[in-house]
Amino acid sequence: MSQVREPAFDRVVALVLRSGASGCFVIMLAGLAVGLFVPGRISLQIERAGVLLMLATPVVRVLVACFLFFQEKDRKYGWISLGVLLILMLGAVFGIGEH
């Protein structure tokens, strides 16, 4: 890959981040609306899904960037992205249960 990144690369990464943020907002808003009108714990579960989407968005962004780097034959940044993804996954696995 050259010194100047392709605009398509940035557009795809921005789309992933925008979709994740928008989806999270809609899901959290839906959970709040359900909580106002429906008794029970369903709204809490919907809001948790929104939070999980919020947490998954950066991981998906790194995964997409890793794929795009390898697709563009930019192995250096592809391996760096893969290393970042590994660190994120290890943090998620070993961070579970830590309260």
Token pair recorded at residue 21 = 């943020």
Q: Residue 78: name the closest of 60, 63, 58, 98 by CA.
A: 63
pLDDT at 3: 59
Give residue-wise pLDDT tens across range 26-60: 999 999 999 999 888 999 999 999 999 999 999 99
- Answering whether pTM is above 0.95, one says no
Look at 1 and 14; give whichever has higher pLDDT.
14
pLDDT tier at 4 (50, 70, 90 boundaries)? low
pLDDT at 98: 62
Token pair recorded at residue 59 = 């991981």
Give residue-wise pLDDT tens across range 62-95: 999 999 999 989 999 999 999 999 998 888 888 8
